[in-house]
Amino acid sequence: MPAQSVWMIRLSLAWLFLATLIGSILLVHKAVELHPAMWSLLPLHFETAIWGWAVQLAMGTAYWIFPRHLVGTKRGPEKPVCWVLILFNTGLITLLAGYLHQSVLPLKLTGRGVMTFTVIIFGILMWSRVKSYSSHTH
């Protein structure tokens, strides 16, 4: 498994744990009120579960398992994928901070913007690996 996939999958597992923890606290809060501001954690639960866990796990697994190039570097340029990994998670953290501090700077917009940019870069990098070896001429 390449290092980029290892870190994407490990981070996705960490986000899974955080999403479950927040979800469990919210479920208990639904039955017994823990704190009046607790529902402000609801968007954090969605964002961590969808982007942090499911999407990032799919990205890490796709980068690892999709058909590799027969010439040049096996999985294409490696450094941009490292930047995708770093920026995607930084964008997600910025987005979550935006939910918690809504009056401070356009954090949500910045976070979403960074995440969108990284997903586009990832899509461009992966595009050429969505192929079949049988159609490849040697």
Partner 1 sequence: MPKVTRLFIKSGLVYLFLGIAMALVAELPQVNTGALLLPVYWHMIVIGWVTQVIMGVSIWMFPRRKRSRENIESVPALFSFWTLNSGLILRFTAEPFILLFQGNSAIISVVVISSLLHIAAVLFYLTEIWPRVFMRKYVKRKKQ
> According to the binding rule CB under 8 A, does residue 130 interact with partner 1?
no
Let me know the angle formed at the C-alpha of 93 by 29 and 126, rounded to the nearest 5 degrees: 120
Report the nearest approach of partner 1 to the CB of residue 17 (Å).
6
H helix or E strand, kind and range, residue 14: helix 3-31
Q: Which of 56, 62, 51 is nearest to 111 (CA)?
A: 51
Closest CA to 59 of 122, 136, 131, 130: 122
Which segment (4-12, 90-98, 110-118, 125-133) binds partner 1 by CB under 8 A? Answer: 4-12
Tell me which residues in 10-29 interact with partner 1 (CB under 8 A). 10, 13, 16-17, 20-21, 23-25, 27-28
Q: Are 122 and 57 in contact (CB under 8 A)?
A: no
Q: How many residues form the binding site for partner 1 (CB under 8 A)?
A: 23
For residue 41, the minimal CB distance to partner 1 (Å) is: 14
CA–CA distance, 138 with 129 (Å, rounded to integer): 16
Q: Among 35, 39, 40, 57, which residue interacts with partner 1 (rule: CB under 8 A)?
A: 57
**What is the binding site for partner 1 (CB under 8 A)?**
1-3, 6, 9-10, 13, 16-17, 20-21, 23-25, 27-28, 30-32, 49, 53-54, 57
